[in-house]
Amino acid sequence: MENFPVINMEKLNGVERAATMEIIKDACENWGFFELVNHGIPHEVMDTVERLTKGHYKKCMEQRFKELMASKALEGGIQAEITDMDWESTFFLRHLPVSNISEVPDLDDQYREIMKNFALRLEKLAEELLDLLCENLGLEKGYLKKAFYGSKGPNFGTKVSNYPPCPRPELIKGLRAHTDAGGIILLFQDDKVSGLQLLKDDQWVDVPPMRHSIVVNLGDQLEVITNGKYKSVLHRVIAQTDGNRMSIASFYNPGSDAVIYPAPALLEKEAEERKEVYPKFVFDDYMKLYAGFKFQAKEPRFEIMKTMEVNVKVGPVVTA
Ligand SMILES: O=C(O)CCC(=O)C(=O)O
Ligand SMILES: [Fe+2]
């Protein structure tokens, strides 16, 4: 098995730019995942985010999680695998189109401020990455950002998770296998406790923890826009018997009313002739479907969107 792709973003500014773009291209085509180092987000910001997230978990979430799991999951010494829940403790922050950080309960001011700061940096990084993808795909700069824009700009939010130590990891997943519905996902994961795996060539591969790195993966919408040149990849989190794993996943997704469809420049004639064309739909309609089918295969989701396609009548994305 080849090594997990790691991109040193500093190399995009020097003589190794072409080789680095090539690693990104290969990662997008063959992994659906890659890991960024030297991405420009200050390590001190990441350290503060980590410290406050872990403190917040201890103070506000841990007891709740223990009570919930004691009552639900493992009471009475469960023997069979649990397939309808995950061994994770989470909360969500929305940044765009409108932030809800000031309304989320139990966060102190310093935590709110650093999460706002971190999100702003991640938003810029996501947009930078989308342009790198455009370059590799031969799409004009800004194409993907515009494709995601809709009428109010992208949806951008953060899922803050902790995966506490689990006494029976063989019976319950930290998070069951799924592909992400949206656009591009930026993950700040614990550098000590592992657990995230992706499916590659029918084998589960660990996403290696690496201090101060950002893990990137591609969601279903990029698979649609690239007409399958890039694919969203199944991933899951394995619960661990020791250690608490922190993960902060930020989802840069299309706006709710953005119309998503394969970029005309990427539609190969042969694929069109064989009718191997991904559907066109309003992103929010996809999300409604995903809500009920997150842990099932994505292909039926695309098929259902095709049957709804007749109702979508919109012109091409203008990128001038
Ligand atoms: O916690 C992780 O490492 C992954 C989370 C994830 O895949 C998700 O929330 O969609
Ligand atoms: Fe995911």
Return per-residue pLDDT of the chain as tens, 320 residues: 689 999 999 999 999 999 999 999 999 999 999 999 999 999 999 999 999 999 999 999 999 999 988 777 655 566 789 899 999 999 999 999 999 999 999 999 999 999 999 999 999 999 999 999 999 999 999 999 999 999 999 999 999 999 999 999 999 999 999 999 999 999 999 999 999 999 999 999 999 999 999 999 999 999 999 999 999 999 999 999 999 999 999 999 999 999 999 999 999 887 788 778 999 999 999 999 999 999 999 999 999 999 988 665 555 555 55
- The two tokens of residue 21 are 């773009």
What is the Cα–Cα distance from 226 to 232, expressed in whole angstroms?
Answer: 11
Whole-number pLDDT of residue 223: 98
Whole-number pLDDT of residue 294: 95
Check if 294 has its Cβ closer than 6 Å to any atom of ligand 1: no
Whole-number pLDDT of residue 39: 98
Whole-number pLDDT of residue 80: 87
Check if 180 has its Cβ closer than 6 Å to any atom of ligand 1: yes
Domains of the chain by start residue, with CATH: 6-311 (2.60.120.330)
Whole-number pLDDT of residue 71: 75
Whole-number pLDDT of residue 318: 57
What is the Cα–Cα distance from 100 to 103, expressed in whole angstroms?
Answer: 5
Whole-number pLDDT of residue 311: 60
What is the Cα–Cα distance from 181 to 151, expressed in whole angstroms?
Answer: 20
Check if 240 has its Cβ closer than 6 Å to any atom of ligand 1: no
Return the ligand 1 atom nearest residue 245 CA: 1
CA-nearest residue, atom 1 of ligand 1: 247
Check if 225 has its Cβ closer than 6 Å to any atom of ligand 1: no
Task: Give the distance (Å) from ligand 1 centre to CA of residue 249.
Answer: 6
Region of residue 191 (left: phi > 0; alpha: psi -120 to 50; beta: else): alpha
Return the ligand 1 atom nearest residue 180 CA: 10
Whole-number pLDDT of residue 27: 98
Task: Give the distance (Å) from ligand 1 centre to CA of residue 161.
Answer: 8
Check if 196 has its Cβ closer than 6 Å to any atom of ligand 1: yes
What is the Cα–Cα distance from 120 to 156, expressed in whole angstroms?
Answer: 10
3-state secondary structure of 62: helix
Return the ligand 1 atom nearest residue 189 CA: 3
What is the Cα–Cα distance from 309 to 305, expressed in whole angstroms?
Answer: 6
- Which pTM does this prediction carry? 0.95
Q: Nearest-CA neighbor of 196 among 207, 185, 181, 184? A: 207
Whole-number pLDDT of residue 2: 81
Check if 162 has its Cβ closer than 6 Å to any atom of ligand 1: no
